[in-house]
C-alpha cells in the first residue's frame, strides 16, 4: 500500500518529511525515499530498507529546500529487491518531475508499450510508478503551450492521466520551478489527505496517505482529496484545486480499515479505530449465534492490528480479555514482508505466548484478517503448545478469496488460504477447533455506519468485484503466471492479447 507525503512550506522540509515517513512506516518497509526542490533543481535520497536505515545524516544534509515529497514502499509491481524501484521517481523532461505513488496500475504493461511506441519514452524498471510518472510527463508536455506552465495546464495534464491510467493511484509530484501537485484516481481507491499549518510567512500545506502523518507533524487536517481531484501548490504557497476526472466516485479500499492503516488515522471521514471496534461488535453477534459465550474462557488479540476488534468482541461477549501473545516491537509487520519464508520465520520471532494465560483454557484468538494463513497457522500451534484446552479462531474480516490488484501484494489465488476452500477446510488447515469469519455485509456495514455517504468500497479481495471494470479473469491469470514466472517479467512481459511487447 505504500505511504506518500508532500510538503510545501516556507522553511526546510527534510526533517518533517523524514519524521512523517516514520509515521507512515507501517505502510511500507521495503524502501524509502525523499526528494526536495530548491532553486529549480531536485535533491533526492532513496534506497532499500526502513526509513531509519535509508537516511543517514549526510543524506539528510543533502536534501535542502522548502518543498519536497517522500515515499515508503511496499512493492506490488516489479521487485522488492531492486533499489532502482525505490521512490520517488525522476524524469528530466518536461520541466523536471519527481513523483511518489501509492497504488497499482492495472494497465501498466499496455501503457509502457504505448509510451515507447507513441510517446518516445523509455521505462527503465518494472515499476508501474515509473510508467505513471512518464504518462504525467507526456501529458504535461502535450498540454503545455510554450515553456511556462499554469494550474489550468497542470489540471489538464492530470485529466490526461485519468484518461489513460487504470487502477489505483494516489500521488504526490513536484514540478521543478513550479510547485507541488497531488492527485487521486477517479475511484478514490487509495487514500490521500490535505493538511495545513500557519507560519509567519503564510500557510504551509502537507499531503499524506494518512491523517496520522499530518497531525503528528503539527498540521491541521483540512480534508481528503476527492477521487479524480488534483491539488496544486505553487512556489508562493498558493493552492489551486480542481476535479480533473470526467466521472468520479468514492470507493475506498476496505482493507485499509481492516488492516493497512494505523488505527489513529481518519480516512474519508471514517475513524479506522472506530471501524475496527465496530467489526469486533458485529463479529461478537455472529459468534453468539453459534455458541454460548460462557464456553469461552478468554479472548485474545493477535497483536497488533486486531486489538480494537478483539477488545470490543470480548466486551460484547462479556468474556475476559487477555494479552496472551507478546510482540517483539523491533520486528516489522509480517504480512507486508516480501517472500513467504521470511514471513513464516518472523511470526515466531515476533510473537511469543504467555503460558499461564493458556493452561487448560478454551481460548478465542482474534485476528483482523487471515490472508495467507501464515500467522494463524503458527499462532494456533503456539496456543496449543502453551497448554490451551481448545483453540477457537475468529477473523474480523471475511475470507480473503480473491487477488488484490490495487496496491496490496496478494496477486495469486493459490497463496490465499481461503481460495478454493470451505470454512471447515480452512479451520482444519490452520489447526483450530472452530473458526469464525466476519460476514461480508457486516464488514461493509461496520465501515459504512461511520460515514453513510460512502456507498461502495473496493472490497475486491473479499467479494471478487473489481471496481475499475478492467480486471478480467484473463488479466488475473496473466498476473498469476507472471508472479510464478518472474523471468518472464525480466525479459519484457507477456505478450498475451497486447499484440506487442512492452519493451519492443
Ligand atoms: O494470514 P496472514 O498472511 O498471516 O496475514 C494476516 C496477518 O498479517 C497481519 O499482521 P502483521 O504481522 O502484518 O501486522 P500487525 O502487527 O499490524 O498485526 C494481519 O494483522 C494478520 O495478523
Ligand atoms: N503498494 C504500493 O502502493 C506500491 C506502489 C508501486 N506499485 C510499487 O510497487 O512501488
Ligand atoms: Mg497481525
Please work out whether the CB of residue 77 comes within 6 Å of at least one atom of ligand 2.
yes
Alpha-carbon gap, residue 192 to 209, rounded angstroms: 5
Task: Identify the bridge partners of residue 169 per DSSP, sorted by sequence position.
Answer: 103
Please work out whether the CB of residue 305 comes within 6 Å of at least one atom of ligand 1.
yes
Active site residues: 2
Nearest CA to ligand 2 atom 10: 75
Alpha-carbon gap, residue 424 to 422, rounded angstroms: 5
Alpha-carbon gap, residue 437 to 108, rounded angstroms: 35
Distances (CA, A) of 85 to 48, 75, 126, 305: 9, 9, 8, 28
Q: How far is the CA of 422 from the centre of ligand 1 (A)?
A: 21
Nearest-5° Cα angle at 338, 372 to 348: 65
DSSP letter string over 194-212?
A: EEEEEETTEEEEEEESSHH
Residue with cell 535509508: 54
pLDDT, residue 500, reads: 35
Residue with cell 529549480: 40
Residues of the chain short of pLDDT 70, as ranges, are 489-504
Q: How far is the CA of 256 from the centre of ligand 1 (A)?
A: 13
Q: Are 36 and 64 in contact (CB under 8 A)?
A: yes
Q: What is the dihedral of CA 463, 192, 141, 70, to 10 degrees?
A: -120
Residue with cell 533543481: 41
Alpha-carbon gap, residue 3 to 29, rounded angstroms: 10
* Nearest ligand, CA 255: 1
Q: Which ligand 1 atom sits nearest the alpha carbon of residue 259?
A: 20
Is residue 368 part of an annotated ligand binding site? yes
DSSP-derived letter for residue 491 is T
Alpha-carbon gap, residue 392 to 371, rounded angstroms: 17
pLDDT, residue 497, reads: 35
Give the strands of the sheet with 298-301, arranged side by side.
298-301, 362-367, 390-395, 434-437
Q: Are 418 and 390 in contact (CB under 8 A)?
A: no
pLDDT, residue 486, reads: 73
* Nearest ligand, CA 33: 2
Q: Are 256 and 74 in contact (CB under 8 A)?
A: no
Please work out whether the CB of residue 209 comes within 6 Å of at least one atom of ligand 2.
no
Report the SS3 class of residue 471.
coil
Task: Identify the bridge partners of residue 365 per DSSP, sorted by sequence position.
Answer: 300, 393
pLDDT, residue 495, reads: 40
Alpha-carbon gap, residue 192 to 182, rounded angstroms: 8
Q: Are 123 and 131 in contact (CB under 8 A)?
A: yes
Q: Are 2 and 209 in contact (CB under 8 A)?
A: yes
Please work out whether the CB of residue 259 comes within 6 Å of at least one atom of ligand 1.
yes
Is residue 318 part of an annotated ligand binding site? no
Q: How far is the CA of 71 from the centre of ligand 2 (A)?
A: 10
Interface predicted TM-score (ipTM): 0.98
Q: How far is the CA of 375 from the centre of ligand 2 (A)?
A: 23
pLDDT, residue 489, reads: 63
**Cell, residue 425:** 477446510
Alpha-carbon gap, residue 311 to 309, rounded angstroms: 6
Instruction: Please report how the helices 128-143 and 151-164 are oriented relative to each other, as an axis angle in degrees rounded to 10.
Output: 130
Cβ atoms within 10 Å of 489's Cβ, excluding its own: 18
Please work out whether the CB of residue 369 comes within 6 Å of at least one atom of ligand 1.
yes
Alpha-carbon gap, residue 436 to 93, rounded angstroms: 54
Amino acid at each position: 500500500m505504500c505511504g506518500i507525503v508532500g510538503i510545501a512550506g516556507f522553511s526546510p522540509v527534510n526533517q518533517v518529511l523524514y519524521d512523517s515517513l516514520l509515521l507512515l512506516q507501517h505502510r511500507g518497509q521495503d524502501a524509502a525515499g525523499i526528494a526536495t526542490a530548491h532553486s529549480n533543481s531536485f535533491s533526492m535520497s532513496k534506497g532499500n530498507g526502513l526509513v531509519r536505515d535509508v537516511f543517514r545524516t549526510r543524506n539528510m544534509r543533502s536534501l535542502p529546500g522548502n518543498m519536497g515529497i517522500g515515499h515508503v514502499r511496499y512493492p506490488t509491481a516489479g521487485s522488492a529487491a531492486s533499489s532502482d524501484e525505490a521512490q520517488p521517481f525522476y524524469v528530466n523532461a518536461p520541466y523536471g518531475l519527481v513523483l511518489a505513488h501509492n497504488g497499482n496500475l492495472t494497465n501498466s504493461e499496455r501503457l509502457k508499450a504505448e509510451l515507447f511506441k507513441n510517446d518516445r519514452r523509455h521505462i527503465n524498471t518494472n515499476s508501474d510508478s515509473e510508467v505513471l510518472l512518464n504518462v504525467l510527463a507526456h501529458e504535461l508536455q502535450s498540454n503545455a503551450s510554450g515553456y511556462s506552465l499554469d494550474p489550468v495546464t497542470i489540471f489538464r495534464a492530470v485529466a490526461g492521466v485519468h484518461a489513460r491510467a487504470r487502477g489505483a493511484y494516489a500521488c504526490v509530484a513536484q514540478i521543478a520551478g513550479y510547485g507541488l501537485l497531488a492527485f487521486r484516481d477517479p475511484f478514490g481507491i487509495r487514500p490521500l489527505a490535505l493538511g495545513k499549518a500557519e507560519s509567519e510567512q503564510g500557510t504551509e500545506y502537507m499531503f499524506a496517505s494518512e491523517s496520522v502523518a499530518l497531525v503528528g507533524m503539527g498540521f491541521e487536517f483540512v480534508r481528503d482529496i476527492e477521487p479524480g481531484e488534483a491539488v496544486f501548490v505553487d512556489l508562493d504557497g498558493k493552492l489551486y484545486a480542481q476535479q480533473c476526472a470526467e466521472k468520479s466516485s468514492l470507493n475506498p479500499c476496505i482493507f485499509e480499515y481492516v488492516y493497512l492503516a494505523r488505527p489513529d488515522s481518519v480516512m474519508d471521514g471514517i475513524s479506522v479505530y472506530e471501524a475496527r471496534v465496530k467489526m469486533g461488535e458485529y463479529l461478537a453477534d455472529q459468534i453468539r449465534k453459534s455458541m454460548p459465550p460462557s464456553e469461552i474462557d478468554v479472548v485474545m488479540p493477535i497483536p497488533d492490528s486486531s486489538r480494537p476488534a478483539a477488545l470490543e468482541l470480548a466486551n460484547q461477549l462479556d468474556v475476559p480479555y487477555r494479552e496472551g501473545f507478546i510482540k517483539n516491537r523491533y520486528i516489522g509487520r509480517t504480512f507486508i514482508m516480501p517472500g513467504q519464508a521470511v514471513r513464516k520465520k518472523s511470526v515466531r520471532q515476533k510473537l511469543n505466548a504467555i503460558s499461564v494465560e493458556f493452561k487448560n483454557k478454551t481460548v478465542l484468538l482474534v485476528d483482523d484478517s487471515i490472508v495467507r494463513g501464515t500467522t494463524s497457522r503458527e499462532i494456533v500451534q503456539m496456543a496449543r503448545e502453551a497448554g490451551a484446552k481448545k483453540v477457537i479462531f475468529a477473523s474480523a474480516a471475511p475470507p480473503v478469496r480473491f487477488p488484490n490488484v490495487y496496491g496490496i501484494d496478494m496477486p495469486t489465488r493459490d497463496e490465499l488460504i481461503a481460495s478454493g476452500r470451505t470454512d471447515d477446510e480452512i479451520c482444519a488447515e490452520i489447526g483450530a477447533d472452530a473458526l469464525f469469519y466476519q460476514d461480508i455485509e457486516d464488514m461493509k456495514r461496520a465501515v459504512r455506519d461511520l460515514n453513510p455517504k460512502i456507498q461502495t468500497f473496493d472490497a475486491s479481495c473479499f467479494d471478487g468485484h473489481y471496481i475499475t471494470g478492467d480486471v478480467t479473469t484473463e488479466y488475473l491469470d496473466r498476473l498469476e503466471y507472471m508472479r510464478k514466472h518472474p523471468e518472464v517479467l525480466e525479459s519484457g512481459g507477456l505478450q498475451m492479447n497486447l499484440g506487442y511487447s512492452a519493451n519492443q
